[in-house]
Amino acid sequence: MNLKTVKIGNLHTKNNVFLAPLAGYTNAPFRQLCFNNGAGLTFTEMVSAKGLCYKSEKTENLLAVTQGYSGILACQIFGNSPDFMREACQSAALAPFQLIDINMGCPMPKIYKNGEGSALLGEIKLAEKIISECKKSGKLISVKFRIGIDETSLITAEFAKMCEGAGADLITVHGRTRDKIYAGEVNFKEISAAKNAVKIPVIANGGVFCRADAETLLNQTGADGIAVARGALYNPWIFAEITGAQTADKKQDVKNQLYLTREMFGERFACVFMRKMIAFYLKGQKNSTAVRLRLMQCKTTAEVEDILNELAFII
């Protein structure tokens, strides 16, 4: 793996292996876990620009950061109104964040049907306006997008050039079309086309579940780095595997995640969230089905921790 720093405006990342934004998952304790294990840059889950403009407490809670986090603070926002998007970038809630990523790739029907996320692939002029308005905030801006809505409308190079021209400082390209959601092969050729079309850094995304996947994605696309999404949900230690960073005690890592999640978001959220996360981490392990069933019956974080204490946790 060709590890290097990535220059984004005046920022320099720790390395070129990033944690992609994941709605419902990349909260502050999970980002801290991934950063501790070698992730060069981590993003919040996607946050509604309108929610920020209307000062929604629920929306602003998604922006929580662990105390003493030492990485670049990067947030992802979504929306289809240039004015709301610019206002969100200028909001007090985003003041601590050094990099704002614009979501133009989310394939989920609720987002797509609302004209947001990957729907903007079919509205290139509107997408351009959104980026240029966000850039007026004075923030560093990145854009995450897919290679097209479907195989008949591959627009990766054109969209990449538009992003650069509108002022984007970095782009991340998910190598699947919107209609594929997360299924099918990653289109290396299209990501490579984006890399060849622009001078700003290009990050490749899609299908990374181990070091070999990361190396293949980087080598086949010529990208400046890679972003890990679902692979990190099942194995946040994948960043240590890819970068060669020292891996701490995995069980203690998960305990720390549990404690931080409870401290920041409360007992109820921590119990439900960590039941789900530990079930992810156990996927593929021997006798994990029975453990996952027990986890889902836990009513308190203390019960979750009791199960953690029993686990050998070999991943």
Query: Catalytic residues, which ones?
Result: 106
Q: What single letter denotes the amino acid at residue 64?
A: A
What's CA 4's distance to the chain center, in Å? Answer: 19
Contact by Cβ (8 Å): 117, 85? no
In 97-180 the beta strands, taken as DSSP E runs, fall at 99-104, 140-146, 170-174
Report residue 190 as tokens.
Answer: 């299209």
Tally the residues of the chain.
315
Nearest residue to 32 (alpha-carbon basis) of 80, 74, 65, 75: 65
**Which tokens is 289 given?**
């089905």
Question: Is the distance from CB of 279 to CB of 295 less than 8 angstroms?
Answer: yes
Rounded to whole angstroms, the Cα distance separating 139 from 135 reads: 6
b/e sequence 273-305, b meaning 16+ C-beta within 10 Å: bbbebbbebbeeeeebeebbeebeebeebeebb
